[in-house]
Structure 1
Amino acid sequence: MLLPTSSSVPGAAPLTFVCLHYWAGSGKEWQAVAELLAPEYGVLTPDLGGFGNAPAPAGGFTVDAYADEVAAYIASRQLQQYVLVGHSMGGKIALALAARQPVGLLGVALLSPSPPTPEPMTEEDRQSSLRAFGKRPETEKTLATITARTLPAAVQQQIIDDNLHTSKAAWNAWLLHGSRENIAARLHQLRVPCTVLAGDQDAVLSPSVHGLETLPLLPDGTHLEIVGGAGHLLPYEAPEEVANLLQAFARQLPQGAD
């Protein structure tokens, strides 16, 4: 069962953004973005299974199991019109769900998404990440590596806390399996508009990865927007740019909130 976080804004608006967080994060990463989008849009920011305060997904830690959980979460909220917003790991989950053509889905916004193909991660990096589980010094080192803009101390602490609060099962499952899954063959079934946002200083998934691995599989006309001076954690590093992109994207949708 997915759990909403304190940054959730009830989906009372005509259009709701359902925001899926990055690996080793939580729904709290969307708090600043949600505040910028309210009250014009509803924003829901669940913790994905094994992260934040959410229990393990009932069907395991596969991309499809997460997509099942998100679908059930959306159904429980009885959303009529919504946009899936996926950051990093959440991006791959959003694409897997969108390919099912769920009722009410108007669009998909991807922030530094894990590509539909296996992530370009070296085996050395994979093993290093596996060994880093639960180690605060490694978490602090990772934070410095994946961000480019200076973040307030409280935000840095939230990022570290989320990382250290991740369950070992969820941590290992993404590194060993989820990040390696290939859902590319399904994306011809994607029927809604998409947009992609990336930081030009992203040390995890550079804009070139999105251009090579993700954009060719998305609908014609999908744009890749670049945020200058930002790293991988866009909702923390560039909440204004993210909110502006989502607002502009929503207003272009054929059945948007207007």
Structure 2
Amino acid sequence: MAPSSHPTLVYLHYWAGSSHAWQGVAAALGPEYPSLAPDLGGFGGSPAPAGGYSVDAYADSVAAYIKDKQLTRYVLVGHSMGGKIALALAARQPTGLAGVALLSPSPPTAEPMTEQDRQDSLKAYGKPAEAEKTFHTITARPQSPTNKELIIQDNLRSSKGAWDAWLLHGSRENIAARMCDVQVPCAIIAGDQDQIMSPSVHGLETLPLLPDDTPLEIIGGAGHLLPYDAPAEVADLLSDFVSRLPLR
């Protein structure tokens, strides 16, 4: 088989998730779209990032992963927490980066979260009943029993260090001043039933900081977990985004 002409999609998952989240999207895109999906430090059973749990430490670990895989042309596809990490890395203008696609991204500014929600989330760590409740909050479409189990188990196997660090620090980090250094094409995809971050959050907090022609695509009936709720729609939008990237 001839090498693919498409850049490699590097999928970065959501907080309390894992690389499992991207299986449906990757399947919908097919083998002609090469992809990689690392488990971010402290999630999916992976060890903590070498430099800690800050957004930049995660960006460092993703950069090292990309270097290890010897990628020469790639697109960062970041979901929620993974979106903020993707933006931090993109602002460094790494060699080979062709574009950034953001799914319901945590904004470059401090993530909108009430102190009560933050404390409730901290207390929810490791509790199956709370993981089940979270599942119903972050999905909007019916899920297969297999997907439901994956989402809940990913939540429960998150390390406490990674769990707490994002809630207390990473989600609050403000990297907005660096966004002028993001020079590659970008796209934002959001679900109109997202109970964590509504499309208006992306329109107000993220879109104005990205290149002028960045689209904000809305998927009807989808919640926060877009890779699970709408894998086919996400795949179609990613395919369209990749097709428009300049060849270089």
Q: TM-score, normalised by structure 1?
A: 0.94
Amino acid of the structure 2 residue aligned with 1:139: A
> Match for residue 230 of structure 2?
238
> Match for residue 6 of structure 1?
none
Q: 1:103 aligns with which of 95, 99, 109?
A: 95
> Match for residue 5 of structure 1?
none
Q: 2:140 aligns with which of 127, 133, 148?
A: 148
Amino acid of the structure 1 residue aligned with 2:128: R
Q: CA RMSD in A?
A: 0.8
> Match for residue 39 of structure 2?
47
Gaps of 5+ in 1: 1-11
Q: How many residue pairs get matched?
A: 245
Q: What does 1:6-85 align with in structure 2 at a 5 Å threshold?
A: 13-14=4-5, 15-85=7-77
Residue 84 of structure 2 corresponds to residue 88 of structure 1: no
Counting aligned pairs with the same residue, the percent is: 69
For 1:82 and 1:192, locate their aligned partners in 2 and report how far apart those are by CA, in whole Å: 11
> Match for residue 105 of structure 2?
113
Q: 2:127 aligns with which of 112, 132, 135?
A: 135
Amino acid of the structure 1 residue aligned with 2:83: G
Question: 1:60-108 deviations in whole A, cap 9, x for unaligned?
Answer: 0000000000000000111111000000000000000000000000000
For 1:90 and 1:145, locate their aligned partners in 2 and report how far apart those are by CA, in whole Å: 19
For 1:215 and 1:32, locate their aligned partners in 2 and report how far apart those are by CA, in whole Å: 26
Residue 35 of structure 1: how far off its partner (Å): 1.4
For 2:169 and 2:33, locate their aligned partners in 1 and report how far apart those are by CA, in whole Å: 34
For 1:19 and 1:71, locate their aligned partners in 2 and report how far apart those are by CA, in whole Å: 13
Gaps of 5+ in 2: none
Question: 1:103-149 deviations in whole A, cap 9, x for unaligned?
Answer: 00000000000000000100000000000000000110111111110
> Match for residue 176 of structure 1?
168
Amino acid of the structure 2 residue aligned with 1:210: H
Q: 1:187 aligns with which of 179, 190, 199?
A: 179
Amino acid of the structure 2 residue aligned with 1:111: L
Residue 13 of structure 1: how far off its partner (Å): 3.0
Amino acid of the structure 2 residue aligned with 1:32: G
Amino acid of the structure 1 residue aligned with 2:4: A
Residue 38 of structure 1: how far off its partner (Å): 2.5
Residue 53 of structure 1: how far off its partner (Å): 2.0
Q: TM-score, normalised by structure 2?
A: 0.97
Question: 1:7-38 deviations in whole A, cap 9, x for unaligned?
Answer: xxxxx634100000000000110011111222
For 2:45 and 2:162, locate their aligned partners in 1 and report how far apart those are by CA, in whole Å: 12
For 1:139 and 1:39, locate their aligned partners in 2 and report how far apart those are by CA, in whole Å: 33
Residue 39 of structure 1: how far off its partner (Å): 1.5
Partner of 2:167: helix, strand, or coil? helix
